[in-house]
Chain A
């Protein structure tokens, strides 16, 4: 794995890890919740299989809040999102919209007014590309207004609503794949940010927040079932490989700092890939 070679930690805990109880999700598309297709999947060894009809994907703030409560304040140190390419497809717009919403949660956590305000129009542009501009316009306006007035809880609420509104609209348009892309874009960017912040002041307990193998597996299953133009969206190949690695890493009972760094690197690579960076080769090992 290439990210291993990049690490330069002298020591780290290599604790015995065992496969956690895991889940294979399958099911039906209902509401705005990401659902996956019932298909065969080989779970990790020793992992009992659980079957889900729906999986609700958390927003970054659910973890940010825990870290914030622990006095972690490294939110401004997270690298910004890559520059958006000029031409993007609808599937890519869905991925980016998810990432931008996660970026919004990050900006709010850092109480960065300018950055948060900048994200309002960006959300609107991406929603326009997805054909849901009207549905999102009110949320985008509220994000900007809320940031202007420092009403951070309100902005968080609007970010959550934005994601929900877009996914609902995608589902109504029978674009379930794109609805899942929105969720994935948000999750991978949020996980990248969380990994970075945890690594800044690593403890085993904080690293436990990254133990989300079931979600990684859920996304992996969902992405592998994607067909048509969505399957050809930038980054999908990278993301599939990334999710396989993430599900294994995140299954570990205790994540070491070097493993947290690996998670961050994998997520950074995935985010770059959905922005169109040529990273496919890097993950082809």
Chain B
């Protein structure tokens, strides 16, 4: 898992629909961190993390035609603890992962790896205190999203990882291929 760069959006309010200027980080790998400062918000639970992740997805759904899955991964982590979630992805789709946290100031470390353990390149954005990671898989496989985090004002935090997908134009390059059972 890679060390993360810091992203500091100091005036963002948790839960607001204000779109923090989506800073697109052209990362070779998905490695990032976030710092959002709004200390007076009460401790949240997993559902809050889910809500925040969904908020981050809203624009992609409304304007980008991304279909969000209602199934999502979630849980609680102690600071520094790691968890890994598997997602089956299919070539021909683009995928968006939205990571929300219950804590206002949480520094996340996230790594997405393919079936061979290689880190996957993608586009990283930030929405309030949530992360968005988008990529187009080069093949059908189960990817591993490994995440850990450190909450500034708590020993542990809740997280939720929502994902969405959308087909991408692809050339069916082997469409003329095979079918030898017909020709022979």
Is B92 in contact with A13, judged by CB distance below 8 angstroms?
no
Given contacts A54-B73, A204-B174, 8 further A-B contacts (CB under 8 A): A13-B178, A31-B72, A50-B84, A57-B71, A59-B69, A203-B177, A205-B91, A210-B140
Residues of B with C-beta under 8 A to A53: 75, 83-85
Residues of A with C-beta under 8 A to B163: 56
Smallest CB gap from B83: residue in A: A53
Is B75 in contact with A12, judged by CB distance below 8 angstroms?
no
Minimum Cβ distance to chain B for residue A201 (Å) = 8
Is B115 in contact with A206, judged by CB distance below 8 angstroms?
no
Minimum Cβ distance to chain A for residue B2 (Å) = 18
Smallest CB gap from A70: residue in B: B172
Residues of A with C-beta under 8 A to B179: 202-203, 257
Rounded to whole angstroms, the CA-CA distance of A10 and B180 in the bound complex is 8
Q: Of residues A68, A70, A153, which shows the largest number of chain B Cβ atoms within 10 Å of its Cβ?
A: A70
Known: A23-B144, A69-B169, A160-B69. A203 touches B90 (CB 8 A): no
Residues of A with C-beta under 8 A to B71: 32-33, 56-57, 59, 160, 163-164, 167
Q: Is B88's beta carbon under 8 Å from chain A?
A: yes
Is B75 in contact with A30, judged by CB distance below 8 angstroms?
yes
Q: Is B40's beta carbon under 8 Å from chain A?
A: no
Is B117 in contact with A10, judged by CB distance below 8 angstroms?
no
Rounded to whole angstroms, the CA-CA distance of A209 and B167 in the bound complex is 13
Q: How large is the interface on A (under 10, 10 to 19, 20 to 34, 35 or more residues)?
A: 35 or more
Known: A50-B117, A209-B140. A11 touches B184 (CB 8 A): yes
Rounded to whole angstroms, the CA-CA distance of A167 and B73 in the bound complex is 13
Residues of A with C-beta under 8 A to B43: none
Minimum Cβ distance to chain B for residue A9 (Å) = 4
Interface residue count on the B side (C-beta < 8 Å): 44
Q: Is A66's beta carbon under 8 Å from chain B?
A: yes
Rounded to whole angstroms, the CA-CA distance of A50 and B143 in the bound complex is 10
Minimum Cβ distance to chain A for residue B74 (Å) = 4
Rounded to whole angstroms, the CA-CA distance of A107 and B174 in the bound complex is 28
Is B181 in contact with A12, judged by CB distance below 8 angstroms?
yes
Residues of B with C-beta under 8 A to A50: 84, 86, 117, 144
Q: Which residues of A does B touch, CB under 8 Å?
A: 9-13, 20-23, 25, 28, 30-33, 48, 50-59, 61-63, 65-66, 68-70, 153, 156-157, 160-161, 163-164, 167, 202-206, 208-212, 214-215, 218, 256-257
Smallest CB gap from B116: residue in A: A21
Known: A50-B144, A205-B174. A56 touches B92 (CB 8 A): no
Interface residues of B in 130-184 (CB under 8 A from A): 139-142, 144, 160, 163, 165, 167, 169-170, 172-175, 177-181, 184
Is B75 in contact with A31, judged by CB distance below 8 angstroms?
yes
Smallest CB gap from B139: residue in A: A208
Minimum Cβ distance to chain B for residue A16 (Å) = 16
Smallest CB gap from A258: residue in B: B181
Minimum Cβ distance to chain A for residue B154 (Å) = 19
Is A52 in contact with B84, judged by CB distance below 8 angstroms?
yes
Is B178 in contact with A69, judged by CB distance below 8 angstroms?
no
